[in-house]
Amino acid sequence: MDARRETRRRPCAAPLALLLAMTACSVGPNYVRPSAPVETTYKELAGWKQAEPRDHLPRGPWWERYGDAKLSELEEQVPAANQDLVQAAARYREAQALVANAKAAWWPTVTIGVSTTRARQSATLGTSFASGKTTSDYAMPLEATWELDLWGRIRRNVESNEASAQGSAADLENTRLSLQSALAVNYFQLRSLDAQGRLFDETIATYEKSLRLTQSRYKWGVASGGDVAVAATQLESTRALATDVALSRAQLEHAIAVLIGVPAGEFSLAVEPLAATPPEIPVGVPSELLERRPDVATFERNAAAANAQIGVAKAAYYPTVSLGASGGLESTHAADWFTWPSRFWAVGPSVTETIFDGGARGALTAQARAVYDEQVGAYRQSVLAAFQNVEDQLAALRMLEDESQQQDAAVAAARDATRITYERYKAGTASYLDLAILQTSEFNNERTAADLMGRRMVASVLLIQALGGGWSTEDLPTRQDVASD
């Protein structure tokens, strides 16, 4: 009669557990995106029409806006070969694995084992029929345990890991954008040095010509030995500066090689002076910036993960309800091990509650809240930094454009002054020192102009990076995506 009663009760256990799981609640605060300071307009856009707010950067390869085939070729090599990006991708896969691990707690844990034991009990105990006898035990138990998530501990843990995985995905995209931006910055700096290198070659050729002329004039008694010394000093110091520029170019070339995953000794770029100008970059409106920065998205998702951990900590205050079942085959004789009478089973729920822990749960809850506050602070700081980045580069582009125009005027004036003084020197009405001073001024102004163009190109790249490179929070993987390979 009792066995039949147990048989009738067992089919009710699974529906009852499912009902309990469906009606369970989740303790802890539900996540609400933290507020953050947002600009209404970009201050540095005032009076600058080239960068008026328009639609945000188009999706896809942002570097194609520069129209440089070699830059595009190099940028395409970054995702496949850069080891920093490989590491970031591996961290994302680690986060996905943690989501799968957290979700595994939804299901029962089932174990099976096989054991054989040969034992003899002491004959002096006299406490059982088997005292003093040697016996064998053959067992094959199957056990299952299932924690009912009545208070949402598992759900909150899954929620936390999913948010962390989304943050890791955003971090992967931020790493990709940072590396691609670094490559473009190094590339334009190198091309700027190529322009300066060409200027050095032309200037050295001019100074060599001037030195020969001065030596000839000295030979005929028209110029002094001091003029020859000034001309020689001017030439050799310029050659020394050219060598320093060559060193900087070599180092930038090596840096580009590392970014595309190539040994520095196996990579080279042909000399090609920078001749481009910064493209127009649509900046959009400030309210969109928070949706377009992968680094900001990382901090926001970290805050969501920390918020869920508060629920995990609070769930520890509530009882743990589990269903357990065990069964299998056990016998003292190997011949009877797998026979039907050797079966055994047990099933039943268990409830455990911690009634004293010395304040451990309170401390963990306080820690979880502090971590959340920390992540909210980091998120808000990232928002402030994002707006600073945009404003910095807008200011740089606007002011460097003005400075470049002013520098072009200075170059033109320096050329005129040098030309006039050179004619006076040949006519014997000016000293070589006068000519050398003006030649040096012309060279410095032309070098500054070449450097300004490189800085303008770098500022445009950094502005694109500050605007997210065309990325959007819509590109974040969904909760379903982070749980799959």
Query: Could you read off the pLDDT of 418-466 as tens digits, one per residue?
Result: 999 988 888 888 888 888 999 999 999 999 999 999 999 999 999 999 9
Q: What is the mean pLDDT of residues 342-352?
A: 90
The parent domain of residue 469 ranges over: 28-105+151-318+359-482
Query: Could you read off the pLDDT of 150-178 as tens digits, one per residue?
Result: 999 999 999 999 999 999 999 999 999 99
Query: Could you read off the pLDDT of 290-340 as tens digits, one per residue?
Result: 999 999 999 999 999 999 999 999 999 999 999 999 988 888 888 888 888
Tokens at 41, concatenated = 């307009």
Residue 341 lies in a domain: no
Q: Are strands 115-120 and 109-112 parallel, antiparallel or unpaired?
A: unpaired
Q: Which residues contact 283 (CB under 8 A, 6 or more apart)?
A: 42, 45, 51, 53, 54, 56, 390, 394, 463, 467
Q: Are strands 343-352 and 115-120 parallel, antiparallel or unpaired?
A: unpaired
Distance CA 449, CA 275 (A): 12
What letter would DSSP give residue 473? G
CB–CB of 299/473 below 8 Å?
no
SS3 243: helix
End-to-end CA distance of the chain: 51
Residue 110 lies in a domain: no
- What pLDDT does residue 124 have? 75
- What pLDDT does residue 426 have? 82
Residue 115 lies in a domain: no
Residue 110, H or E segment: strand 109-112
What letter would DSSP give residue 135? E
Query: Could you read off the pLDDT of 43-70 as tens digits, one per residue?
Result: 888 766 655 555 666 677 999 999 999 9
CATH number at residue 379: 1.20.1600.10
- What pLDDT does residue 52 have? 54
- What pLDDT does residue 49 have? 62
CB–CB of 292/468 below 8 Å?
yes
Residue 281 lies in a domain: yes
DSSP tally for the chain: helices H, then strands E: 11, 5
Distance CA 229, CA 214 (A): 9
Distance CA 194, CA 273 (A): 5
What letter would DSSP give residue 137? E
Q: How many domains does the structure of the chain reveal? A: 1
Residue 296 lies in a domain: yes
Residue 131 lies in a domain: no
Closest to 160 measured CA to CA, from 366, 310, 36 = 310
The number of angstroms, rounded, from the C-alpha of 75 to the middle of its chain's C-alpha atoms is 17
Q: Which amino acid is at 65?
A: R
What's this model's pTM, rounded to 2 decimal places?
A: 0.85
- What pLDDT does residue 388 have? 95
Distance CA 342, CA 328 (A): 8
Distance CA 444, CA 442 (A): 6
Q: Mean pLDDT in the chain?
A: 88
- What pLDDT does residue 199 have? 94
Q: Is the pLDDT of residue 10 over 50?
A: no
Alpha helices of 316-359 — where are they, by DSSP H?
Answer: none
Q: Is the pLDDT of residue 363 over 70?
A: yes
Q: What is the CA radius of gyration of the chain?
A: 38
CB–CB of 248/265 below 8 Å?
no
Q: Which amino acid is at 104?
A: A
Distance CA 476, CA 482 (A): 9
Residue 18 lies in a domain: no
Residue 273 lies in a domain: yes
SS3 141: strand
424 or 6: which carries more pLDDT confidence? 424
- What pLDDT does residue 129 have? 63
pLDDT band at 224 (very low <50, low <70, confident <90, very high): confident
Distance CA 195, CA 26 (A): 64
Tokens at 242, concatenated = 């050219």
pLDDT band at 128 (very low <50, low <70, confident <90, very high): low
- What pLDDT does residue 130 have? 60
Distance CA 362, CA 358 (A): 9
Q: Which residues contact 189 (CB under 8 A, 6 or more apart)?
A: 252, 454, 458
Q: Is the pLDDT of residue 23 over 80?
A: no
- What pLDDT does residue 443 have? 93
SS3 261: coil
Q: What is the mean pLDDT of residues 331-357?
A: 88
Q: Are strands 320-331 and 134-148 parallel, antiparallel or unpaired?
A: antiparallel
Question: What distances in angstroms separate CA 64 from CA 97, 165, 257, 370, one per listed residue?
Answer: 36, 30, 20, 44
SS3 109: strand
Tokens at 350, concatenated = 């268990």
What letter would DSSP give residue 230? H
Query: Could you read off the pLDDT of 260-304 as tens digits, one per residue?
Result: 999 999 999 999 998 888 998 888 888 889 999 999 999 999 999
Q: What is the mean pLDDT of residues 108-135?
A: 79
Residue 350, H or E segment: strand 343-352
CB–CB of 114/139 below 8 Å?
yes
- What pLDDT does residue 309 have? 95
What per-residue string of b and e applies to 384-401 under the rule 16 or more CB within 10 Å gives b? eebbebbbebbbbbbebb
